[in-house]
Structure 1
Amino acid sequence: MDLPKFLLADNSDFPEDIFVLHTEFPRFLINLKDDSVEWFEDLTGEKEEDIATELADLMDKAGEFYDSEINALE
């Protein structure tokens, strides 16, 4: 099965929070309310410079994905 790169997620226990799940490596869940991130991968051993740049880009893309999805709903 092919999965989308990003998924929107919510939870009734956190009614004010907006989550985006990244399904490819490195997998993570970002809470767009406060930009907190839960990683599902062990990133130890990765080159810190390379991974920091990639992660910043992925988090920006997660925010862009959310904006795109919300705009499509309006």
Structure 2
Amino acid sequence: MTLPKFLLADNSKFPEDIFVLHTEFPRFLINLKDDEVEWFEDLTGESEEDIATELADLMDKAGAFYDDEMKEFD
């Protein structure tokens, strides 16, 4: 099965939160409400600078993905 790079996720126990799941390496879940990130990968040994740069880029892409998805509902 081919997975999309990003998936929207929500949970009725967190009605104010908006989650985007990144399915490729490095896999993570971001809460767009507060930009909190939960990593599903062990990034030990990775360059902190590379991680910070990649995270910033992926967070921007996650936000753009969400915006594009919401345009589909309008």
- TM interval, shorter chain, is over 0.9
Residue matched to 2:33: 33
The gaps in structure 1 that reach 5 residues or longer are: none
Any stretches of 5+ residues in structure 2 without a counterpart?
Answer: none
What residue number does 1:59 align with?
A: 59
CA distance in structure 2 between the aligned counterparts of 1:54 and 1:25, rounded to whole angstroms: 11
Counting aligned pairs with the same residue, the percent is 85
Q: Displacement, 1:72?
A: 1.2
Aligned to 1:14: 14
**TM-score, normalising length from structure 2?**
0.97
Structure 1 consecutive aligned stretches of length 4 or more whose deviation exceeds 3 Å: none
Shift of 1:22: 0.2
Give the alignment's TM-score, normalised by structure 1: 0.97
Superposed CA deviations along residues 41-65 of structure 1, whole A, max 9, x for unmatched, are 0111011111210111001100000
